Structure 1
Amino acid sequence: MIVKSLDEIKGTEREVRAENGQWVSYRLLLKDEGMGFSFHVTTIFAGNDNFFQYKNHLESVYCVAGEGEIEDLETGIVYPIKPGTVYALDQHDRHRLRAFKDMTMACTFNPPVSGREVHDADGSYPADLS
């Protein structure tokens, strides 16, 4: 059994901050835990506009707090995000994520990340860093 708390992750190597200061991600479960997915709690800071496309991963996201929107960059459709909203990037979707208020998000990645990944120039994570 694996049991962890967010408080024990803060301030460790599992606290990953964007170089541009737009988000912080706490990586609670990673590849080396052997669960087949990774689990993160991420805060997207208000006033930021992020462009992502996870070419090597599928991601699901559940909004715990805050407010924003996600735009599908292929279709132009914009979806509001508020607490209780889930979205799944099941097609490696190119998307734009905007935070109007700090958004706390619970995220899963498949395949799992190893922990130190940050977004590259096209908004994706590398296939595997281990």
Structure 2
Amino acid sequence: MTAANAPTFGRVDPVVLAHRHPDEFTARFMAYLPENRHVFEAFECEAFRVIAKGFDHYSARTIIEVLRHNSALAERGGPWKLNDWHTPYLARLFALAHPEHAGLFEFRVTKAMRQKQEAA
């Protein structure tokens, strides 16, 4: 499955969707996302491949590792090919974009989000 044939009904721009749910994301991720929509789209495509194989629970980190090692995908504006710091937020964004698959990933409070909550 490619990004071109992934489900798109009611598709919302991932940046717009993230801005609608600011409590779910760090400022760093929000700054990263506009230039790296392609990373989210590749993550989304790979998640749909996993779903198509029958998985109803999977690791977001595994998806990033597959993308890192099996593609030429790279993020813009950073020193890394794909930075794992953004993995939890890509998974959260996927769950928001596709609530019918919200249970695919397990979510924990990230260290950055804990610090954000403590500062508030």
Normalising to structure 2: TM-score of the pair?
A: 0.28
Greater strand content: 1
Normalising to structure 1: TM-score of the pair?
A: 0.27
